[in-house]
Structure 1
Amino acid sequence: MKKLFLLFSLISSVYFYSQNFSAVNDILEKIENKHKKMKDASGYTISNKKFVLVEDFEDHSERHILQFNADNSLTLIELIDDKATGQSYSNIFSGDFIRKKNAISVRANYLEGKQIAIPIIYSLYLMNANDIWYLKDINTSKRWIENNNLIKKKN
């Protein structure tokens, strides 16, 4: 009797699991259809383009400006505004990047001309929505918007 009950519970769990699995497949199909609309950015050049990330915290705000140069080098400017004192601080990093289609790997390993022990590394994905180009950080989902698009929005 125990073996029969165990067999019945095993079969019923497989049946209910397969129903759940079809729902997961439906969700995956929706995600795939959504991503098919994404553009291939192979033809879009990022040379001499700037991308900006703005973050606001309780005690300070940060602006990060990422400029890509034609020779696969980059400049990362970090501006920090202290809300308590009103002072601004800046750090200027330099480094290089590698691009493969929409994926961009950024490594900033020099701080104001001096090599640093632990470089700043970003894994970014180049995306387009409503003719606005932006970089999405793969690890944190933060978005770096192209500087030209910020200027258009303000006008």
Structure 2
Amino acid sequence: MRKALFLVSILSSSCFYSQNFGAINEILEKIENKYKKMTDASDYTINNKKFVLLEEFSDHSERHILEFGADDKITLIELIDDKATGQTYSNIFSGDFMRKRNAISVRANYLEGKQIASPIIYNLYLMNANNMWYLKDINNSKRWIENNKLIKKK
């Protein structure tokens, strides 16, 4: 008797929740349309632009600077600040990128001029919010903000 009652309650609750998924999807679509950030960026050029990613950890902080060159070349500068010693370490990667509308694929396969065995690869999506361009990493949702937006105007 308990098993039958439990089974009936599960089936009725799943039917109740499945009816609400349509309403939830409608609400999500309204929110996406209201705050839509994914505009077509075909006219926006990323050549000779820099994007910055800042990350804080308990023992160190990292700054990644991604600079796009004129002929599909990139330079990735990785600055690591050790909080215990106060020293800064840097790595300079170079490579290339491919762009198709808003999607950008970056491959950094050289570390300070020497080829590395496993390249650093980023799959990024170019987005705009309040006239601020940024790159969103598709894999982990980290945001690379355009460098000139980080500089405060006096």
- TM-score class, shorter-chain normalisation, is 0.7 to 0.9
Pairwise mapping of residues 4-153 of structure 1 onto structure 2 (< 5 A)? Answer: 15-34=15-34, 36=36, 38-151=38-151, 153=152
Compute the displacement of 1:18 (Å).
Answer: 4.3
Runs of 4+ displaced beyond 6 Å: none
More helix by share: 1
Is the contact made by 2:37 and 2:128 (CA closer than 8 Å) also made in structure 1?
no
Aligned length: 148
TM-score in terms of structure 2 length: 0.85
TM-score in terms of structure 1 length: 0.84
Tell me the secondary structure at the aligned position of residue 148 of structure 1.
Answer: helix
Compute the displacement of 1:116 (Å).
Answer: 0.7
Letter in 1 for 2:52: V
In structure 1, stretches of 5+ residues that fail to align are 1-7
Compute the displacement of 1:150 (Å).
Answer: 1.0
In structure 2, stretches of 5+ residues that fail to align are 1-7
Distance verdict in 2 for CA 1:37–1:77, change over 3 Å? closer
Distance 2:13 2:82 in 1: 57
Distance verdict in 2 for CA 1:20–1:63, change over 3 Å? same
CA RMSD of aligned residues (A): 2.2
